Amino acid sequence: MDRPHRAEHRDAAGEAALPGAVGVSRLRVYDWPAPPGADGRCGGTPHMHLACTEAYAVTGGHGAVEVVTAEGAGTVALAEGDLVWFTPGTVHRLVNEGELRILVLMQNAGLPEAGDAVFTFPPEVLADPDAYRAAAALDPADPEGSARRRRDLALDGYGALRDRAARGDASAATAFHAAALRLVRPRLASWRRTFESGPAAAVARTAAQLAALADGDTAHLRSAAVHRGEAGDAWGMCGRLDTYPARDGTRVI
């Protein structure tokens, strides 16, 4: 028997969320050349996540992701079919060498949107929370221009950071980590609430389902449903994004 279609449904258990509280978006990496004084290559805004692992599944074009960690600096080539992921603390910069398109999978949906990313602005901007917020914000009246200015300022700080890391200076990354923590510390309590209501709740839900199955209880299977996420458009850190709702979907069956 066909079930009636229902719209904007999300059950109490949160089953309308994307699997495992993962964030998904389609990324078209910016083709803006770097400003004078940088390397001139096209690409995105260097930044770092503090509590989320990020994965790139390359769906078209080619390019690279540059990274800086406490171990040094490196570059990973990207081409269609590649899958690359990196853990918290990895400063990364996408380089677009030809129509680079990526499906981005982000751990802990809700945390990146809550600010779990810090741009590699110059040290004087990182040291001033008000200056940082102003530099990171997008102007609704000029989203493209402000996204490009934000990218260029981050490249300014990134160049010095990467040069130090490439010379074997481990303190370059650790100093940036410390500056990032100072910026986000006031938001950690709200991040905890986001995590507990999203990713942690998804794990707890699976644990409860496994316990029920072990007891011979299949009640949760009777609430099976199909959901659809509608893409939204955004000016992202590294390119234009088709974003999908992580927490709510439209129930179609």
Q: Each residue of 189-219: b (16+ CB within 10 Å) or e?
A: eebeebbeebbeebeebeeebeeeeeeeeee
Contact 49, 104 (CB under 8 A): no
Region label for 204, one of left (φ > 0), alpha (ψ between -120 and 50) or beta (otherwise):
alpha
Q: What token pair was written down for 132?
A: 């940082």
Please state the domain extents for the chain. 19-251
**Would you write out the chain's pLDDT as a tens digit for each of its 253 residues?**
343 333 333 344 456 677 878 999 999 999 999 998 788 899 999 999 999 999 999 999 999 999 999 999 999 999 999 999 999 999 999 999 999 999 999 999 889 989 899 999 999 999 999 999 999 999 999 999 999 999 999 999 999 999 999 999 999 999 999 999 999 999 999 999 999 999 999 999 999 999 999 999 999 999 998 988 888 999 999 999 999 876 666 777 7
- What's residue 12's pLDDT? 42
Percent helix / strand / coil, the chain, rounded to 5: 35, 30, 35
Q: Which residues on adjacent β-strands are paired with residue 28?
A: 101, 240
> Residue 134: helix, strand or coil by DSSP?
helix
What lies within 8 Å, CB to CB, of 85 at 6+ separation is 53, 54, 55, 56, 105
Q: Give the pTM.
A: 0.90
What class has domain 19-251?
A: mainly beta
Backbone phi, psi, residue 61, to 5°: 70, -165
Residue 129 CA to its chain's centroid (Å):
21
H or E element that contains 57: strand 54-69
Which DSSP string do the residues of 164-219 spell out, in sequence order?
Answer: HHHTT-THHHHHHHHHHHHHHGGGHHHHHHHHHHTHHHHHHHHHHHHHHHHTT--G
